[in-house]
Amino acid sequence: MKAIITVILMVWCVGCANPGFNIQPVEDDPSLLVGLASSPDGSSEAETRHDHPVEWTTGDLQAILKRLAIQEGSGLLDSSRRPQAVFSQEDLTHLIPALQQTFNIARPSDWIVFAVWGSSEHTQGLQVTSGGMYLQDQQLHILLANHRERVSSEEHGIQDIRENPFHALRDVKRSLLFYPTSYVVESGNNWIMSGFESPVSELILDYQALLATKPPEEQPTETEEATASEILKTDRSPSPTTDVELSTLQEELSTLKEELSRIKQQMKQQPADPSQTTIP
């Protein structure tokens, strides 16, 4: 959490309550925007020191991005919802080369931003997945503002994303996940990147440990369903944190049941007529 707080404070100093960005597109077409984001007054050059530029191989980015998943909702009541892959293989085919080029020319003061446009399978309407990335202290930060959010064909919604891919079109509770979970350093919400309008999901990865132990390159899957299935198969064992939380909840539930049983027993032993109650 310390790293996320540090980033929040830096962006607060740079952009105050409504951060704006200068977006320098590197790849810009109707289906994809990838570029560099910097503060409009150049103040981030002094406060922000990212580990840029960096060279990525196609295999390394594939190994990382295909393991990202999103789960809508939060809390125990939403835990039954099936996580979805953030990117389809089609998305990655177009996104990865643009990210490689952008990271290679990024300055230490830059954020790498992206917006992947597509059409919904159900409504045929325009939808977008957008966010950003950066490297700091040998850790990869991934931010996601929108995941397949419907976008009006009107200029307003599209322009908002193009001006700031960290702008969330809708205030949605969601969790950004990564499998295996052992490579996740921290995760949480970042409110400042979107100007306090709605939170951006942030995930910090020990990507070097992942790449050092990644299996031999596999054939890329061709469908989004296969990608999501692959993510879920990567790590089916619950994390230690989840085990502890479940154990604590089970103990609390058991205690509540015992207390409820005791109260019911006391109520049965009380006389039906309050006037018959003996006052000591």
pLDDT in tens, 228-260: 555 555 544 444 445 555 566 666 667 777 777
Whole-angstrom distance, CA of residue 183 vs CA of residue 169: 29
Residue 5 has what pLDDT? 42
pLDDT digits (tens, 9 = 90+) for 35-58: 999 987 665 566 678 999 999 999
Q: If pLDDT is split at 50, 70 and 90, which confidence band does 172 have?
A: confident
pLDDT for 199 equals: 81
Is the torsion defined by CA of 222, 230, 60, 127 positive or negative?
positive
Helix 58-65 with 89-105: angle, nearest 10 deg: 120
The span from the first CA to the last CA of the chain, in angstroms, equals 57
Instruction: Please answer whether residues 88 and 65 qualify as being in contact, where contact means their C-beta atoms are separated by less than 8 angstroms.
Output: no
State pTM to two decimals. Answer: 0.72
- Residue-range domain boundaries for the chain: 2-237
CA distance 34 to 75: 33
pLDDT tens-place string over residues 105-131: 999 999 999 999 988 777 678 899 999
Residue 20's φ and ψ, nearest 5 degrees, are: -115, 160
Asked whether residue 32 carries a pLDDT value surpassing 80, the answer given is yes
What's the confidence (pLDDT) of residue 235? 47
Q: According to the model, what pLDDT value does residue 160 have?
A: 87
Type of residue at 84: Q
